[in-house]
Amino acid sequence: MTISWPQKQRDIHNHHMDSTRWNQFRFRDDDIVIGTWAKSGTTWMQQIVGLLVSGGTMTDLAFGTSPWLDLRVMPAAEMHEQLEAQTQRRYVKTHLPVDALVFSPKAKYLYVGRDVRDVIWSMYNHHLNFTPQAYEMFNNTPGRVGPPLEPPNCDIVTYYHQFLDHDAPWFWPFWSNVQSWWDIRHLSNVLLVHFNHLREDPKAEIARIAAFLGIEVPEEKWPDILHQSSLDFMKQQAARMEHMDMVFQGGGSTFINKGTNGRWKDVLTADAVRKADEVAALNLTEDCARWLRAGEHNASN
């Protein structure tokens, strides 16, 4: 049977991203691509994959060796050179929708989804705590297309409504990103993972990820993998990373903040809570919206 692989249809450029950086990436047969919109569990999945690839021997946080390829801050040639020099199984990060990504049958793709309400709560903390140096980096790195990124000038509830009303206007579209990955979940090299499942039963979900990647996990390695992929461990490690102070007020402790869901429940009115589902229904297929909301009807091959 002939497989219809996704083809790149467009490019995305903004203060953070340049999708053309994927055009020169030379895929290897065992590459892993970790995708999310943002604040959906990206760093968590990088940590899990890093531990699986290393056989549970990794000691540092994995995102140091797992670059965000579409982030335009580092010169593309330098990033590609670093990736070419890596000898272990590579795992890279993207926040692109499928139609702006160079998709390879050689690679394995992991996409993490999370309820939009939790994404917004996490993104507000992220956005609010960027340092002046971070804004300088995002906005003044040569080649920026479009308006600069500005600090949020509102409270979390206003931010929530602006996100839903204008499709994450400060960053890049949310709904089309999620739907694009949902639409290719049938491909044998794509696995969708929900943030809720990682929180509720991390061992079962990590075992599912390992099986998808073709990695056998010795039983004696599970305690280390579960400990080092815990959000408490990751937060402690991130707090020690001094360079994070340049990007976030509060450093690494801000970058990996709560990792919890439902912080909006005591803040939003019932109508505001329903608004997220109503907007999702306008932008996603019914099955995709159900999965994104709570991981129902898990998307598995």
Query: Is residue 36 a contact partner of residue 112, using CB atoms and an 8 Å limit?
Result: yes
Query: Is residue 10 a contact partner of residue 132, using CB atoms and an 8 Å limit?
Result: no
Neighbour tally for 266: CB within 10 Å: 6
Distance separating alpha carbons of residues 161 and 167, to the nearest angstrom: 10
Which of 8-12, 151-155, 239-243 has the weakest average pLDDT? Answer: 239-243
Instruction: Indicate if the pLDDT at residue 301 is higher than 50.
Output: no
Instruction: Indicate if the pLDDT at residue 258 is higher than 60.
Output: no
Neighbour tally for 89: CB within 10 Å: 18
Across residues 99-120, what is the average pLDDT?
Answer: 97
**Residue pLDDT, tens place only, 124-171:** 999 999 999 999 999 999 999 999 999 999 999 999 999 999 999 999
Across residues 278-288, what is the average pLDDT?
Answer: 98
The two tokens of residue 117 are 């309400």
The two tokens of residue 183 are 């639409």
Q: Characterize the bridge pairing of strands 91-94 and 32-35.
A: parallel
Going along the chain from its start, the domains and CATH numbers come out as 19-294 (3.40.50.300)
- Predicted confidence at residue 77, as pLDDT, reads 94
